[in-house]
């Protein structure tokens, strides 16, 4: 178990067209953890405008890869609590994935903010963990600050994530459900983020607590080192 001074300060980095379960799976775990442990939550985006989920909707206009789907306006929104300029010091930063990460220009400010938080040890002395879910690993890779580290990501998008700037410098573990390399935790696609979150709770508070949460969520967890979707997508 790890000793972190309360409150445990959690921050989610949000962008249009993030994947719902990437955020709300781990967040459900954190909601339950917060019953016993003092925590704060910050939802961080470029501005305080509502952030669309799964589909890019900006100023009421649907765009992005799902704009031409049968239901382009079937979406939900999250209200951020902080901007890049007002986000408080954090112990944990969580980065979801989703189709929005493929808009390289739109997410550059997110990458820049994340890089600054990783770089600025004096202003961010408490930053203990950076966690990515699914293709959120592409944003972290683009910072250039995980060169030489082990990481994983969504198996269906594995080759695309490996193609982004600075990703060639990362040691990508194809078979893993989630990977831990120091303070950097990265998970495979979508539901894997919840597996990682439960693993992180075990790391922080012990197996009894993580297993209690898993049972409460009725969650059938998968093994950390063996993601069955790696074989499905022909990765080894």
| Domain spanning 8-232, CATH class | alpha beta
pLDDT for the residue numbered 67? 72
Each residue's pLDDT tens digit, 132-177: 999 999 999 999 999 999 999 999 999 999 999 999 999 999 999 9
Each residue's pLDDT tens digit, 90-128: 999 999 999 999 999 999 999 999 999 999 755 546 799
Rounded Cα distance between 19 and 53, Å, is 6
Element (H, E) at 33: helix 20-36
Q: What is the pTM of this model?
A: 0.95
- Angle made by CA atoms 212, 213, 217, in degrees to the nearest 5: 120
| DSSP SS3 for 8 | strand
**pLDDT at residue 75 is higher than 90:** no
Phi first, then psi: what are they for 221, rounded to 5°?
Answer: -70, 150
DSSP β-bridge partners for residue 53: 18, 76
Each residue's pLDDT tens digit, 37-72: 999 999 999 999 999 999 887 777 787 777 778 887
Q: Is the peptide bond before 7 cis (omega within 30 degrees of 0)?
A: yes
Tokens representing 164 are 């982004």
pLDDT for the residue numbered 2? 66
Q: Could you tell me the residue ranges of all domains in the chain?
A: 8-232
């Amino acid at each position: 178990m790890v000793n972190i001074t309360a409150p445990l300060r959690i921050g989610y980095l949000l962008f249009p067209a993030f994947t719902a379960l990437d955020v709300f799976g781990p967040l459900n775990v954190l909601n339950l953890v917060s019953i016993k442990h003092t925590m704060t939550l910050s939802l961080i985006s470029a501005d305080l405008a509502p952030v669309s989920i799964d589909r890019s909707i900006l100023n009421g206009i649907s765009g992005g890869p799902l704009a031409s789907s049968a239901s382009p306006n079937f979406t939900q929104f999250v209200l951020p609590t902080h901007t890049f300029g007002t986000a408080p010091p954090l112990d944990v930063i969580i980065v979801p994935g989703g189709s929005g990460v493929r808009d390289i220009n739109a997410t550059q400010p997110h990458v820049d903010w994340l890089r600054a938080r990783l770089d600025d040890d004096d202003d961010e002395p408490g930053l203990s963990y950076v966690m990515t879910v699914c293709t959120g690993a592409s944003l972290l890779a683009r910072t250039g600050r995980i060169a030489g580290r082990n990481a994983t990501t969504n198996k269906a998008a594995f080759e695309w994530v490996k193609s982004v700037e600075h990703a060639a410098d990362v040691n990508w573990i194809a078979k893993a459900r989630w990977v831990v390399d120091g303070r950097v935790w990265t998970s495979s696609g979508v539901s894997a983020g919840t597996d990682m979150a439960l693993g992180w709770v075990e790391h922080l508070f012990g197996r009894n607590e993580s297993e209690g949460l898993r049972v409460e969520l009725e969650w059938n967890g998968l093994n950390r080192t063996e993601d069955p979707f790696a074989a499905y997508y022909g990765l080894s």
